[in-house]
Amino acid sequence: MTDSNKTRVVQIGRSYKDETPKVVNPVIMRGSTVLYGTVEKMNFICDRGEAGENVLRYGSFGTQNAFTLQDVMSEIEGGESTMLFPTGLAAIAHVLISTLKVGDHVLMSEDVYHPARILATKFLAQRGIECEFYACSHKDIAKRLKPNTQMVYLDNPGSITYRIQDLPAIASLLRKRKTLLAVDNTWGAAGLYCPLKLGADISIVAITKYIAGHSDLMMGSVTVNTKARYNLERDARILGQIASPDDCYMALRGLRTVEARLTMHRQHAHQVITAIQDEPDIDQILYPGLTTDTGYVLFKRDFNGSNGLITLVFKPELTEIHIKKFANALRIFGLGASWGGYESLIMIYDKVGGWNGGHVARLHIGLEAPEDLIADIKQALKSMKS
């Protein structure tokens, strides 16, 4: 019998079947120095750690809280190993820096998370790594692949626009190459999307978002298969990359309720979309869970559900001034970066990679009463023209 994802995220990484009484949540283990009884014991433990085992040997290699979270993320993402990082962006940077060297070529989707684009254009490019952006299609990837293409990197769905790419088709293109396929899976965590099971080699998650769920910690994870494991694990150890025990504890605690929260986020998002989609100033609502979305067929095939992120596309005649007035008029929606917490948020964008339509505003639909959120959006739409 296979447990559903709802059961897995509650039970995973926990055991009560041995004889030892224990508390429900793992106890926080803080520490830097680890003491050994003998030199022989120390050498034995350190050798196991260098071989890739999660063993307690020094704080920068992790304590039990980190080990548990790593194992949990590996199981959820369907990978062999997981590394933890202090932020989601640090996780992205580690993947790029550990994989790419001078003379390599990387293909990035044009709708990647904007800080990842900055990493490519401002950091990698200045270090002799060629970064090229493709048009969100495996057909465009096929045209741009080079002998020195070391990585194809994408968000799926894309950032802000939520365009969905055919990951198995991309993986098929790369099957006979050494090229690694990396996916930012933050939108699809935890369990909405499993890129490693669809052919990716690397899955990156900003645990900051839905897994943590309360806008009170920063963390990223990288889960890998055999093809990508060695270099990424080695370099994480060399660079001392890890997350704090307290943050790992909070991430594990947040994980236990992620399915319940995602269900509410999704239900509220659908209610909001239904109520505002015919508003005269809204040209389009971007949300992959809609049957009218251009990526809906792929979404139904590869995803296990949607979340609370929607993007409003305003009518072309509306200016940036109108959009700012709309954002400023909102009463319940907070104006701030990130998403995945319990609260509703808005961010407006002057420019979105690969998007040539009207002005957009991304809304994170939170756990507040949807009727209140709908009323707030409608009054802000009226206010923006006053």
DSSP state of 44: H
Q: Is the pLDDT of residue 283 over 80?
A: yes
DSSP per-residue string spanning 204-260: EEETTTTTT-SS----EEEEE-HHHHHHHHHHHHHTT----HHHHHHHHHHHTTHHH
Q: What is the pLDDT of residue 13?
A: 72
DSSP per-residue string spanning 252-298: HHHHTTHHHHHHHHHHHHHHHHHHHTT-TTEEEEE-TTSTTSTTHHH
The two structure tokens encoding residue 363: 């809304």
Mean pLDDT of the 234-263 span: 95
Domains 5-30+62-255 and 258-383 share a fold: no
Which tens digit of pLDDT belongs to each residue from 72-111? Answer: 999 999 999 999 999 999 999 999 999 999 999 999 999 9
- Cα–Cα dist 169/163, whole Å: 15
Mean pLDDT of the 25-48 span: 92
Q: 15 exposed, middle or buried (CB, 10 Å; 0-12, 13-18, 19+)?
A: exposed
The fold of the 258-383 domain, in CATH, is Aspartate Aminotransferase, domain 1 (3.90.1150)
SS (H, E, C) 70-114: HHHHHHHHCCCEEEEECCHHHHHHHHHHHHCCCCCEEEEECCCCH
Q: How many degrees, rounded to 5, is the angle at CA 338 between CA 334 and CA 339?
A: 75
Hunting for tokens 């209140």 — which residue is that? 372
For the sheet with 180-184, list strands across it: 81-85, 220-224, 202-206, 180-184, 149-155, 105-109, 130-134
Helices (H) and strands (E) in the chain, counts: 13, 12
- Cα–Cα dist 323/175, whole Å: 45
Residue 309's Cβ-side half-sphere holds a number of Cα atoms within 13 Å equal to 24
Q: What is the pLDDT of residue 1?
A: 39
Q: What share of the chain is helix, strand, coil (3-state, %, to 5)?
A: 40, 15, 45
How many Cβ atoms from other residues are within 10 Å of residue 375's Cβ? 14
Partners of 245 in the β-ladder:
none
- Cα–Cα dist 33/60, whole Å: 9
Domain segments of the chain as ranges: 5-30+62-255, 258-383
DSSP per-residue string spanning 317-356: T--HHHHHHHHHH-SSSEE-S---SSS-EEEEES--TT--
CATH number 3.40.640.10 is the correct assignment for the domain at 5-30+62-255: yes
What does DSSP say about strands 360-364 and 180-184: parallel, antiparallel, or unpaired? unpaired
Mean pLDDT of the 169-191 span: 96
User: How confident is residue 350, by pLDDT bands cut at 50, 70 and 90?
Assistant: confident
Give the three-class secondary structure for 9. Answer: helix
- Cα–Cα dist 196/182, whole Å: 9
pTM: 0.94
**Is residue 373 a contact partner of residue 365, using CB atoms and an 8 Å limit?**
yes
- Cα–Cα dist 188/93, whole Å: 20
Q: Is the pLDDT of residue 2 over 60?
A: no
Q: What is the pLDDT of residue 384?
A: 92
- Cα–Cα dist 273/268, whole Å: 9
Quick one: which H or E segment has residue 302? helix 296-302
Q: Is the pLDDT of residue 16 over 70?
A: no
Mean pLDDT of the 196-216 span: 97
The two structure tokens encoding residue 3: 């447990």
**Is residue 276 a contact partner of residue 311, using CB atoms and an 8 Å limit?**
no
